[in-house]
Amino acid sequence: MGNVVKERGLVLEKTFVAVGKQLTQAGVGQKVLELILIGVVFLILVPFLGAHRATDFAIFCIIVLSFDLLYGYMGRLSFGHLLYVGVGAYTVGLALRYLTTNPLLAIVLGIVAACLAGMAVGAITVRIAGAAFALANLAFNRVGWFLVMSPLKDITGGENGLSIRNLSFWYVNFRNPTFRFWFVLASLLLVFLLLRVFTSSSYGVLLRSIKEDEKRVRFLGYNTQFYKWVTFVLAATVAGFGGALTALNYGYVNPNTLDVHANAGIVFACLLGGSGRLYGALLGGIIYMLITNLLPVYFQRWEFFLGVALLLIVFRFRGGIWGGLEALYSGLAARAKSGSSKEGMSR
Amino acid sequence: MSLLTTSGLTKRFGGLVAVNSVDLRIEENETLGVIGPNGSGKTTLFNLLSGFFPPTAGRIFFQGRDVTHLSPEERVKMGMVRTFQLVSVFNSLKVWENLAPCVAWKSGMYHSLWRFMTTPAASTWADSLEALKLVGLEGQAEAIAGELSYGDRRLLEIALALSLRPKLLLLDEPFSGLSDVEIAKVLALLKSLKGKITIGIIEHKISMIVDFVDRLCVMNEGRIICEGNPSEVLTNPLVNECYWGKQETLERAGVSGV
Ligand SMILES: Nc1ncnc2c1ncn2[C@@H]1O[C@H](COP(=O)(O)OP(=O)(O)O)[C@@H](O)[C@H]1O
Ligand SMILES: [Mg+2]
């Protein structure tokens, strides 16, 4: 009996090492494989959650990925990241109401609007160092909230939000949950691929350098303000994409899309999965959504578990779940290397 | 024309005058040593030259151009590169990754921001390795920089500086904290650079660089008290006073201070 368990464990271990080896390699075929893997994970989620929920998860992952670029890679924590989600969502809602009947065009407009908002706000906030950066962004997020709720109430619908009627156009039909799922999954894969390219370039290395010691980077001849701004805008743009998709997934935009309190959830998801790691952001996004969707069913005071998890991460697993897996992988791979000669003897 | 000159360069920290109207001159391809007791303002002087903070008064000219108010990155682009008294490299990155953005930029690999953002860092591997070979670290390219010995990190910092193709290289106590073997390594590297680029080197212990530099500047209490070729400087009574007779100097300061 014990032998069977042991062998199963061994197979599991070998699979784990093999998959890890694949993921740490580079190349085009490699990237395709990764995309398929991510797609499969979401397809597995569909029967359990339903297409609509799974779509929600994927959108959340896009937003967490965008945040990870800013926070995980460049080391700049913002409490106002949802402003861009909101800008993307409201732009889609308003565009489909007043400008166009084409949801794809509305998405493009949403992305452009978030990009412009990021350019404007980023130009001011990236100059600010430390905690004040997080708070300055929070302030702008509050301004966005105020605009939606008060001066622009007549077009945004204020607290009641804005429902979208033009959801289908040509073959594009956002009324259909299956279409929405595939569309959002494709979007997630696109975002992932894009960020994968950016973060593994010299620019990606520069981001991690800025995270460690910005001042030192300036003495290497880099205008760090500029690169921080570029990154801020990029993160805002991707977040805007996530917001645009949120609007279409619900056929409805409400002020919750830019509620500053939800920002904590994104930070949490990022840390949980492992910040500064794209797979960490994906894993964190999925697990965070699972926790917040499932735990309340079983426990009334489920936030307690979030708190415990956060403490565990902060004190014990700084690399989050993905960081833990990486450490496990490098340990097992090293053991596999040194143990391959001994294996024959133990049999 | 000198490569770098300063006029009346002054830095005050509250009541303390860390650098006091310094007129410095560094010639093209010269190796200049800056010595002086602890706290005499050597690091502050280099901080001013490299743009770490602005001077309270005075000007800095590089290749005839006024660079007093240029940012550090603009000065680096002109060819003014420095290292730090406490080794400063990116400890969380791999050794070769430390160099990736710099060699990519310097080798003109990227014509645009987009290329910079999308070309894999790994494509700089060959250039990074080349830069590491210069300091003999190519064997540790894949190691995490923070796990290197202090001496090796110093070598990495110098490789980083050299990868920026400096015209003027400012080294702040490159030997401090290093073992004798490591010092010999760094010194050999610097000797191979001598005459090819302009070097400014701060050192606390005179004996370390006396054979290596073309000219010495001695700083004390924010001023350059004497400069000239090494043998001249070392026989100057003022220098001996500030190094060995500090107590006496302090006592007489009130009387003889002009
Ligand atoms: N950033 C700073 N703020 C305040 N005082 C400083 C600063 N940097 C240096 N000093 C002071 O200026 C004086 C010169 O320091 P420094 O230039 O580091 O000397 P050295 O490098 O010759 O040992 C010292 O008294 C030091 O305390
Ligand atoms: Mg010093």
**Partner-chain contact A201 B119, CB within 8 Å:** yes
Distance CA B120, CA B110 (A): 11
Query: What part of A 205-264 touches B (C-beta under 8 Å)?
Result: 205-206, 208-209, 211-213, 216, 218-224, 230
User: Residue B119 falls within a domain, yes or no?
Assistant: no
Best of B73, B105, B112 to disrupt the A interface (most A CBs within 10 Å) is B73
User: Residue B48 falls within a domain, yes or no?
Assistant: yes
- Judge residue A135's burial from the number of C-beta atoms within 10 Å of its C-beta, 0-12 exposed, 13-18 middle, 19 or more buried: middle
- pLDDT one-digit tens code per residue, A169-224: 787 787 888 999 999 999 999 999 999 999 999 999 999 999 999 999 999 999 99
User: Residue B109 falls within a domain, yes or no?
Assistant: no
User: Residue B114 falls within a domain, yes or no?
Assistant: no
CB within 8 A of A224, min separation 6: which ones?
A: A210, A214, A217, A218, B73
The token pair at A61 is 């992952």
Q: Which helix (H) or strand (E) holds B81?
A: strand B80-82
Number of domains in chain B: 1
For residues A328 and A238, membership in a common domain is answered with no
CB B242 within 8 A of CB B249: yes
Distance CA B46, CA B44 (A): 5
pLDDT at res. A344: 44
For residues A54 and A150, membership in a common domain is answered with yes
Q: What is the CATH number of the domain that holds B78?
A: 3.40.50.300
**Partner-chain contact A218 B97, CB within 8 Å:** no
**Partner-chain contact B121 A198, CB within 8 Å:** no
Span of B7-16, B51-60, B233-242 with lowest mean pLDDT: B233-242
Evaluate if residue B131 carries a pLDDT over 80: yes
User: Residue B123 falls within a domain, yes or no?
Assistant: no
Contacts of A223 in chain B (CB under 8 A): 71, 73
Span of A74-83, A319-328, B43-52 with lowest mean pLDDT: A319-328
The model's confidence at residue A339, banded by pLDDT at 50, 70 and 90, is low
Summarize the confidence of residues A153-178 as an average pLDDT.
81
Closest CA to A156 of A62, A258, A240, A238: A258
User: Residue A22 falls within a domain, yes or no?
Assistant: no
Contacting A with CB below 8 Å, chain B residues are 50, 71-73, 76-77, 81-82, 84, 88, 90-93, 97-98, 100-102, 104-105, 110, 113, 116-122, 124, 160, 164
- pLDDT one-digit tens code per residue, A289-315: 988 888 777 877 777 878 888 888 878
- pLDDT one-digit tens code per residue, A138-152: 999 999 999 988 888
Number of domains in chain A: 2
pLDDT at res. B53: 94
Q: How many CB atoms lie within 10 A of CB A196?
A: 19
For residues A193 and A342, membership in a common domain is answered with no
User: Residue A25 falls within a domain, yes or no?
Assistant: no
Q: Which residue lies with its CA nearest to atom 10 of ligand 1?
A: B18
Summarize the confidence of residues B53-70 as an average pLDDT.
94
User: Residue B174 falls within a domain, yes or no?
Assistant: yes
The model's confidence at residue A9, banded by pLDDT at 50, 70 and 90, is confident
User: Residue A23 falls within a domain, yes or no?
Assistant: no
Q: What is the CATH number of the domain that holds A221?
A: 1.10.3470
User: Residue A148 falls within a domain, yes or no?
Assistant: yes
pTM confidence score: 0.89
CB A283 within 8 A of CB A321: yes
β-bridge pairing B168-172 and B80-82: parallel
Q: Which domain holds residue B206?
A: 4-88+166-252
Evaluate if residue A345 carries a pLDDT over 80: no
Q: Which domain holds residue A62?
A: 31-304
The model's confidence at residue A26, banded by pLDDT at 50, 70 and 90, is low
For residues A345 and A286, membership in a common domain is answered with no
The model's confidence at residue A267, banded by pLDDT at 50, 70 and 90, is very high
Evaluate if residue A106 carries a pLDDT over 50: yes
Nearest CA in chain B to A209: B90
Give the SS3 label for residue A342: coil
pLDDT at res. B107: 61
Span of A125-134, B118-127, B235-244 with lowest mean pLDDT: B235-244
pLDDT at res. A328: 85
For residues A116 and A224, membership in a common domain is answered with yes
User: Residue A206 falls within a domain, yes or no?
Assistant: yes
For residues A192 and A334, membership in a common domain is answered with no
Note the ipTM here: 0.88
For residues A184 and A75, membership in a common domain is answered with yes
For residues A158 and A218, membership in a common domain is answered with yes
For residues A255 and A328, membership in a common domain is answered with no
